[in-house]
Structure 1
Amino acid sequence: MSRWRDLTGETSGEDYAARFAALARSGKDVHGEARFCAALLPAGARVLDAGCGTGRVMIRLAELGYDCVGVDLDASMLAVARQQAPELSWYQADLAEFEPRRLGVSPDFDLVVAAGNIFPLLAAGTEATVVQRLTAALRPGGLLVAGFGLDEAHLPVPPGITLSEYDDCCAAAGLTLVDRFATWDADPYQGGGYAVSVHRR
């Protein structure tokens, strides 16, 4: 069972969306992830939002002109996403078993983004499999972008994966580290409890 399911019971979609809506109303920037991804590739590129949740990142990328597909295991999150953007492509799937073709989706994405602590919230022991599945969805030269917390201050659960372990998973899947940042605003990574990693297939 995933740490996310343990944490939420997969019933938190509306609460999650409301929290970000309140942040946006207060003037906080809630589109850092989408802006980060948009800086990496031109509009029109294909983006897979892996662990898309309520669709905050993907909906913004679609508004910016990207061809997006969202995948998440949590039906309560997807229900909110579909309500907010019914015209976009949302799929319910376990990332550890994700096969785009089985969903009728072409596996040649230019970028896969895993925002929102996806890797620390996976079922323990599935991290390498998920990296392999997401890599297989990328075209040659495509990018895997993942941002997640590394310590208890940046996570709702105890840390589940270290950066070196994540890099090992990526290397085993045939990915190469391109860059690493401390935030979605592309601040330099100098250690610390959060990292955004960019790997290329």
Structure 2
Amino acid sequence: MVEKSLWMQKVEQDPGHSHWYVERFRSMARAGDDLVGEARLVDAMAPRGAHILDAGCGPGRHGGYLARQGHRVVGVDVDPVLIEAAEQDHPGPQWLVGDLAELDLPARGITEPFDVILAAGNVMTFLAPSTRVQVLSRLLAHLAPRGRAVIGFGADRGYPFDRFLADAARAGLAPDLLLSTWDLRPFTDDSDFLVAILRAA
């Protein structure tokens, strides 16, 4: 049995956490905050009408934006509360409840591989540590032959960047480009954030 993600452990400890998270982003959207910088980067990378997976999609802000740009989007998250919010706030993509460690979209009727897979919002750091390589392997299995995965998270989240890159290599992924921000600043040894653009090794 797959170990529960750190996110779902947090939800078990605080049943109101998911609702708080949804309302936090709804409030930020009402305030006019820029919530889609990650999605803009993916949109710039992707061909028009690309097939995009929003892995760990949360309440759907990135997948919703990408769908509005004309992409064909599937969003997956382990938390049904977040998927419900995505369906309400961002109609258009196909939103699915699922654990990334067991991701098997062909079994759910989605057989076309993805041009781009996005895992933003510190998704990798909310996984159970024992499932990290497995999740990266499952993402790779869903990539098109020339597809790329775009994964971003902060340095203070308990997952050192060098360990992540080693895990990615174990899963069969190699870096195309490493950045320190979603607005394309270069990655350096003292960067406090990593945006890794990965392809099949």
- Normalization by structure 2: what TM-score? 0.90
Question: Structure 1 residues 107, 96: closer, same or farther in 2, change over 3 A?
Answer: farther
- 1 CA distance for matches of 2:52 and 2:16? 26
Q: Which amino acid aligns with 2:79?
A: D
In structure 1, the residue matched to 2:147 is: 142
Deviation by residue 1:9-49 (Cα, 9 ceiling, x = unmatched): 36534322321232233332111011010111122011000
8 Å CA contact retained: 1:51, 1:115: yes
In structure 2, the residue matched to 1:132 is: 137
In structure 1, the residue matched to 2:104 is: 99
Cα drift, residue 63 of structure 1: 0.5
Of 10, 14, 22, which aligns to 1:7? 10
State yes or no: 1:49 paired with 2:47. Answer: no
Question: Structure 1 residues 11, 46: closer, same or farther in 2, change over 3 A?
Answer: farther
Q: Which amino acid aligns with 2:193?
A: Y
State yes or no: 1:72 paired with 2:77. Answer: yes
> What are the equivalent positions in structure 2 for 1:1-201 lying under 5 Å apart?
1-9=4-12, 11-151=16-156, 155=157, 159=158, 161-190=159-188, 191-201=190-200
Cα drift, residue 82 of structure 1: 1.2
8 Å CA contact retained: 1:48, 1:69: yes
Aligned residues: 194
- Structure 2 unaligned regions, length at least 5: none
8 Å CA contact retained: 1:107, 1:136: no
- Structure 1 unaligned regions, length at least 5: none
What's the Cα RMSD here?
1.6
- 1 CA distance for matches of 2:89 and 2:169? 37
- 2 CA distance for matches of 1:147 and 1:171? 16
* 3-state SS of 2:53 partner: strand
- Normalization by structure 1: what TM-score? 0.90
- 2 CA distance for matches of 1:25 and 1:75? 23
Greater Cα shift, 119-128 or 165-174:
165-174
Question: Structure 1 residues 2, 54: closer, same or farther in 2, change over 3 A?
Answer: same
* 3-state SS of 1:125 partner: helix
Q: Which amino acid aligns with 1:169?
A: D
8 Å CA contact retained: 2:11, 2:18: no
